Structure 1
Amino acid sequence: MKRVTCEVRPHWQQLCEREGYRWHTEPSGPCWREGAAYELSAAEAARLRDTANQIYALLLQAADRVVRDHEWQRAGILPEHVPILRQSYERGELPLCGRFDFLMDESGQPRLLEFNADGALTMLETAIIQRQWLQQVMPEAAQFNGLHESLKKAWQTSGLTKIHCVWRPRHPEIEGTVRYMTRVIREAGLTASMQALHSLGWDRQRSCFIDMDGAEVEVCYKLYPWAWMLRETFIDHVSHASCRFIEPAWSHLLTSKAMLALLWEWFPDHPALLPCYHDASKLTGTLVTKPIFGREGHNITIRDEARLISQTSGDFPDAPCIHQKYVTSPRFDGFLPQFGLWMVRGKAAALGIRESPADIIDQDSAFVPHFIAR
């Protein structure tokens, strides 16, 4: 793998915005890296794909064991949240999509950092924007990117007909991602509408969620994490309503970083897994501490026995944490790449890469397209 310099497209900002990607540049810096790309071999892309598929299978085994053996506390789930997660799991509600984050160690082995099972971002960049870039800049090359087609097929085969797509306003990236998913749903032949989350109501007589027109919300695609939903005043209605949420409530279990510690305990021989514990004293050398339900690189620290190496601020300063062994990963032109493997219906569908000159990838890190030389 290598990082290469390539053509900067004239008016690339307008090209991105035509596809709904309007947050390509922020005051803190670029969210999209124009003029650079990562070149992977077919074998490297296949290794990332296969690793993601293997880890997802292990994660499902671990989730089943948590439910079966009542390991909710060790998985980071509060007692008051167990009934709604268990109900969702026992209903057989299928997750739609999620994103693994990996680093590559110095031997080329992907090493798992976390799984974003609920409210993962970089969907539009991965599915559409980097494909547009490939067609315009590297038309002879390939790309590991079937995200759009996989999402479309998942909706086509879902047996569903009408979807309400909701989000919390005032966040351009989240709104843009929901708009993209609405587009995918409509391309799949289903009916989809967009509404702000706070515009939904509860009909006591019918015991159902309703939209602004009073119509029942039968299926709700939400880009609003269960970690936040579970704190809302309306959460008690969820278990009594027939509404199907996507992602399902039990995806809150999959996204818990406490699952990383259980994966390490139950499957320590898998080469992609890093030692991970609730107790930092069980690790030696450099370690990474991260909130169990943290997001976008918030409140992560990297330290060794002697000093603090790096840290980020964020919204979870007092949250419970897990501790994971630090993985030394090669840099390219001074940048650390993180590999986002998108899963759709349990299968790896696409690769999206973000990079940073810092040690921690966060919400300010730039998305960089990739290609596979033919």
Structure 2
Amino acid sequence: MEREHSVPRPGWQRKLEEIGFTYHSMDGRYWDESVCYSFTAEEIDMLESVTAELHEMCIEAAGAIIERDWFDRLAIPEHARNLIVDSWNRDEPSLYGRFDFSYDGRYPPKLLEYNADTPTSLIECGAAQWFWLEEVKPDMDQFNSLHDKLIERWRQIAADGWIKGPLYLSCIKENEEDLCTVEYMRDTAAQAGLDTVFIFTEDIGWDEDRQLFADLDGEEMAALFKLYPWEWLVQEDFGRQLALNKVRMIEPAWKMLLSNKGILPVLWELFPHHPNLLPAYFNADNFRREYVKKPLLSREGANIIIEKAQPLMSKDEGYGGEGYIYQEYSPLPMFGAGNFPVIGAWIVGDESAGIGIREDSSLITSNLSRFIPHYFIP
């Protein structure tokens, strides 16, 4: 694994906008093709294998949480538990997820967290960096089958009879990144042959008489892809009404168990000393020195504290009320002059689907951390 300088393509902004990636310059520089990361084929094979293994471990961990009634450990609200159990027992299909790894090319990758419910950077990984590769390094390859696997997974979910009628896709208003991401997901679903309808989350209605969710025209919504976190959803009237109506949700309710950072100490308890896990616990008593304090429920690196000689805290977004987990501090590798990458490894269905790299000058990755394309030598 190496970090290399690269010459940006002429008109790269226009080329990204043509594929629907309009937020490429958030905070001045979000998409960054002035550099790239290179890998060997052996490193890519290893990342693919590790991603698949961790996915299987997470499925086993979700089953253990339900079987052993560990909902309190993850601060899952009482009213959401039956929703999760019913979703699990019906084997509701999962579409995707993203593991975040610390990896330096020398030692085994370590799992930092699992974005299992509403992971983003899809268009960056699935489309933008692929077109970059075709234009800049056409003789190389990329660990990236995300786009094709999303289409195929939609086909599988539809073929199993899970989606009946149109598939609604939603995000909140006035969020350009979410809107572009949902439109990209809508495109993959359409390419799979599904009838799709976009609706803003705020425009979804509840029909009390018919006991169902409806769009602005009063049409029933039987299947919904939502770029809106389950932990927010179950605290609202909308979420509580889900128990009254069997709208089919993607991601399913059981993914609440995996998007919660409480999954990290559960994994460590079930698979102690696994080479791709960091020690993690529900309290800090097991650590004498440095560790990372993470809210059970937080997003985009918010409210994370690295406890060391000089503590480092990320932006305060109000998370942490439900509790925290404590994970061994394993510094991100540094490439060049103060660049700290995190590898986001995608799972689609049950298959590894590629990687995207986020880089920052801080040890804590945030929503504005740069996205860097990659390649490997076939």
- Shorter chain as denominator, the TM-score bin is over 0.9
Q: Could you list the runs of 5+ residues in structure 1 that have no partner in the other structure?
A: none
CA contact (8 A) 1:301 1:312 kept: no
Which aligned pairs between 1:265-280 and structure 2 lie closer than 5 A? 265-280=269-284
What does residue range 1-374 of structure 1 map to in structure 2 within 5 Å? 1-26=1-26, 28-104=27-103, 107-159=106-158, 160=163, 162-304=166-308, 306-316=309-319, 318-333=321-336, 334-374=338-378
Deviation, structure 1 residue 242: 2.2
Q: Give the distance between the partners of 2:312 and 2:253, measured in 1 at CA.
A: 36
- Cα displacement (A) at 1:329: 3.5
User: How much has 1:310 moved relative to structure 2?
Assistant: 4.6
SS at match of 1:4: strand
What is the CA–CA distance in structure 2 between the aligned matches of 1:87 and 1:23, rounded to whole Å?
Answer: 38
Identity %: 34
Q: How big is the shift at 1:105?
A: 5.4
Tell me the distance in 1 between the aligned counterparts of 2:223 and 2:314: 39
Letter in 2 for 1:22: T
Question: What is the Cα deviation at residue 29 of structure 1?
Answer: 3.2
Q: What code does the residue aligned with 1:357 have?
A: S
Secondary structure of the corresponding residue to residue 282 of structure 1:
coil
Gaps of 5+ in 2: none
Deviation at 1:91, TM superposition (A): 1.6
TM-align CA RMSD: 1.4
The 8 Å contact of residues 144 and 355 in structure 2, kept in 1 or not, is answered as yes
Amino acid at match of 1:21: F
CA drift of 1:318 comes to 4.1
What letter is aligned with 2:186? T
Distance 1:10 1:107 in 2: 35
CA distance in structure 2 between the aligned counterparts of 1:188 and 1:105, rounded to whole angstroms: 37
Q: Is the 8 A contact 2:43 2:105 kept in 1?
A: no
The answer (yes or no) to whether the contact 1:29–1:364 under 8 Å persists in 2 is no
Q: Deviations over 1:58-116 (max 9, x none)?
A: 11111101111111112332223212111211221111101110101574210001111
Separation of aligned partners in 1, 2:28 and 2:322: 28
The residue type equivalent to 2:278 in the other structure is L
Give 1:317 shift.
5.2
Conservation of the 8 A alpha-carbon contact between 2:303 and 2:313: no
**Structure 1 contact 76–256 (Cα < 8 Å) conserved:** no
1:105/1:322 Cα in 2 relative to 1: closer, same or farther (>3 Å)? farther
Query: What amino acid maps onto 1:52 in structure 2?
Result: T
Shift of residue 319 of structure 1?
4.4
